[in-house]
Structure 1
């Protein structure tokens, strides 16, 4: 294995990698939306994560990392079902009705749900920063959805937006489940095996829901599958797991907020999606809320609690 210790010392390289990954993940939202012109949402997810799984297992082979102990397989299956199957089946279906930029912001509300779930199931305290951050983030979500959500918006759009919020909650649940059951496994190994199990569920859903539907294989659609499967899923996650081994999780969580920013910007530039005032204000509130929620309590405040 290469000596990745040098990565931690080279801040310019480290943050260049973070910026590159978040741009690629932001662009992935544009690609996911555009892919619906060529195939169904479940079919695309099956091709994407099938390709991603094969790539990750090739990486595991190259670094000589074998399978995890069998006692962890059921936990990895649960994580794969939640984090890969439920999240991306819900997101891809919702993208039929919701713009890519807005979708990315809604899904990346996940840290708020993780904070609530961590308080409930991990015994982590909801300090004043988390409470304020969650409140601001919820206001931001409502602003994105539209305060007149139940009166003037298209019902399909409302359904899609709520489906993405559901996906964000499922992602948060998978994070808590991971913390409880498999934190002692290598993260690359977890990523590969949970994606394998999740892909199995996605293929099953595709066979049930979209069997026989047309699929257009063109240079563009093949690029979409390869980009999201190889680059946005397998390679980006592999590099990301290396990065988070050398930076604190608060910094890592906050840096992922660049993804919906790039998602909004690229959706506007490439797909000609609207950047309304409510989307911009709501997105800003969500990002501010998550940053505040990740803020550490001063030592004196912790002692006073």
Structure 2
């Protein structure tokens, strides 16, 4: 559900960044959304009252992520990406640390080499470096096109889940992945005007 963010970015960018929604973008967004629904499967139709609040929070997170991307493109075009990301990550780390002391049960931490390497890899490579690259890309191309490329994340998650964790890939998932790829193509390819 969080990867509905490109839909929010495309709509907000239409009004705030003058990135007009054309027929191809609309078809691409629709195809990507249908693909996500195929991947989520029939479970999305069986509404569990206990899950609704969580799903609404995820959709609000997707909307917030979309607003943040458009805001970053508007306000931080000439800002040093490394400094901006350093402050964002530092602020987020401090807030998470505070909340972890409040909300998480206190258990002793075992600092093994694997734990330290995992923390460094996730903090420096998977988060810091990729966010610097993301904001650089966001400043280079249309926000709607950049965000639509993130629809590859669920597809790659399915692929690596299948390869590494031996998770099943159903026909519905294959259709969903195909629809997402079509959506990305429709949103990013420069079609000639007729």
**Structure 1 equivalent of residue 66 of structure 2:** 172
Find 2:171's aligned residue among 269, 274, 277: 277
Verify: 1:182 aligned to 2:73, yes or no. no
Q: Any conservation in 2 of the 1:268–1:275 contact (CA below 8 Å)? A: yes
CA, structure 1 residues 228+169, in 2 after alignment: closer, same or farther (shift >3 Å)?
same
**Structure 1 equivalent of residue 27 of structure 2:** 132
CA, structure 1 residues 143+166, in 2 after alignment: closer, same or farther (shift >3 Å)?
farther
Secondary structure of 1:275 counterpart: coil
Quick one: distance in 2 between partners of 1:216 and 1:171? 33
Find 1:146's aligned residue among 12, 21, 41: 41
**Deviations, residues 138-179 of structure 1 (Å, cap 9, x unaligned):** 2122222224523288965x7766655543332211101112
Quick one: distance in 1 between partners of 2:93 and 2:36? 29
**Structure 1 equivalent of residue 11 of structure 2:** 116
CA, structure 1 residues 224+278, in 2 after alignment: closer, same or farther (shift >3 Å)?
farther
CA, structure 1 residues 220+275, in 2 after alignment: closer, same or farther (shift >3 Å)?
farther
Displacement of 1:132 after TM fit?
Answer: 0.9
Displacement of 1:229 after TM fit?
Answer: 0.9
Q: Any conservation in 2 of the 1:110–1:168 contact (CA below 8 Å)? A: yes
**Structure 2 equivalent of residue 193 of structure 1:** 87
Quick one: distance in 2 between partners of 1:190 and 1:269? 36
**Cα root mean square deviation, aligned:** 3.6
Higher relative contact order (CA closer than 8 Å, sequence separation 6+): 2
**Structure 2 equivalent of residue 292 of structure 1:** 186
Q: Any conservation in 2 of the 1:111–1:172 contact (CA below 8 Å)? A: yes
CA, structure 1 residues 200+126, in 2 after alignment: closer, same or farther (shift >3 Å)?
same
Quick one: distance in 2 between partners of 1:112 and 1:242? 18
Quick one: distance in 1 between partners of 2:34 and 2:148? 19
Per the normalisation by structure 1, the TM-score is 0.51
Secondary structure of 1:118 counterpart: helix
Secondary structure of 2:46 counterpart: coil
Per the normalisation by structure 2, the TM-score is 0.75
Structure 1 unmatched ranges of 5 or more = 1-105
**Structure 2 equivalent of residue 206 of structure 1:** 100
Quick one: distance in 2 between partners of 1:187 and 1:214? 36
